[in-house]
Amino acid sequence: MAKLDITGLSKAFGSHPVIADFNLHIGSGSLMAILGPSGSGKTTLLRLLCGFERAQAGTIGIDGRVVSGPGVHVQPEQRRIGYVAQEGALFPHLSVADNIVFGLPRAQRRAHHRVAELLELVGLPQAYAARPPQHLSGGEQQRVALARALAAAPSVVLLDEPFSALDAALRSETRNAVVHALEATRATAVLVTHDQAEALSMGDHVAVLWQGRLAQVATPQELYRAPATRELARFVGEAVLLEGVVAEHRAVCSLGSLPLAAPTAPGPAAVMLRPEQILLLPESMPDTVPAQVESVVFMGAHANVQLALPASGERIAARISGQSVPAPGARMWVSVCGPAVAYPAATRPS
> Please, what are the domains in the chain?
4-225 (3.40.50.300), 241-347 (2.40.50.140)
What pLDDT score does 346 carry?
A: 64
- What distances in angstroms separate CA 118 from CA 75, 130, 226, 331, one per listed residue? 26, 14, 39, 58
Strands of 205-210's sheet in order across: 81-84, 156-160, 188-193, 31-35, 205-210, 213-218
Task: Give pLDDT tens digits for 273-316.
Answer: 999 999 999 999 999 999 999 999 999 999 999 999 999 999 99
What pLDDT score does 173 carry?
A: 87
What pLDDT score does 207 carry?
A: 97
Q: Tell if the pTM clears 0.85, that is, is over it.
A: yes
User: For residue 316, which of 293, 300, 339, 297 has the smallest C-alpha distance?
Assistant: 293
User: For residue 269, which of 252, 254, 289 has the smallest C-alpha distance?
Assistant: 252
Task: Give pLDDT tens digits for 37-85.
Answer: 988 999 899 999 999 999 999 999 999 999 999 999 999 999 999 999 8
Query: Positive or negative, the Cα torsion across 211, 179, 80, 152?
Result: negative
What pLDDT score does 324 carry?
A: 85
* Cβ atoms < 10 Å from Cβ of 16: 7
In sequence order, the β-bridge partners of residue 272 are: 241, 341
In sequence order, the β-bridge partners of residue 11 are: 19
The 3-class secondary structure across the chain, one letter per residue, is CCCEEEEEEEEEECCEEEEEEEEEEECCCCEEEEECCCCCCHHHHHHHHHCCCCCCEEEEEECCEEEEECCEECCHHHCCEEEECCCCCCCCCCCHHHHHCCCCCHHHHHCCCCHHHHHHHCCCCHHHHHCCHHHCCHHHHHHHHHHHHHHCCCCEEEEECCCCCCCHHHHHHHHHHHHHHHHHHCCEEEEEECCHHHHHHHCCEEEEEECCEEEEEECHHHHHHCCCCHHHHHHCCCCEEEEEEEECCEEEECCEEEEECCCCCCEEEEEEECHHHEEEECCCCCCCEEEEEEEEEECCCEEEEEEECCCCCCEEEEEEECCCCCCCCCEEEEEECCCEEEEEHHHCCC
Task: State the virtual CA torsion across 225, 226, 228, 233 in degrees, nearest 10.
Answer: 40
Tens-binned pLDDT, residue by residue, of the chain (350 aa): 799 999 999 999 999 999 999 999 999 999 999 999 988 999 899 999 999 999 999 999 999 999 999 999 999 999 999 999 887 789 999 999 999 999 899 999 999 999 999 999 999 999 999 999 999 999 999 999 999 999 999 999 999 998 887 887 788 888 988 999 999 999 899 999 999 999 999 999 999 999 999 999 999 999 999 999 999 999 999 999 999 999 988 999 999 999 999 889 999 999 999 999 999 999 999 999 999 999 999 999 999 999 999 999 999 999 999 998 999 999 999 999 999 999 998 644 43
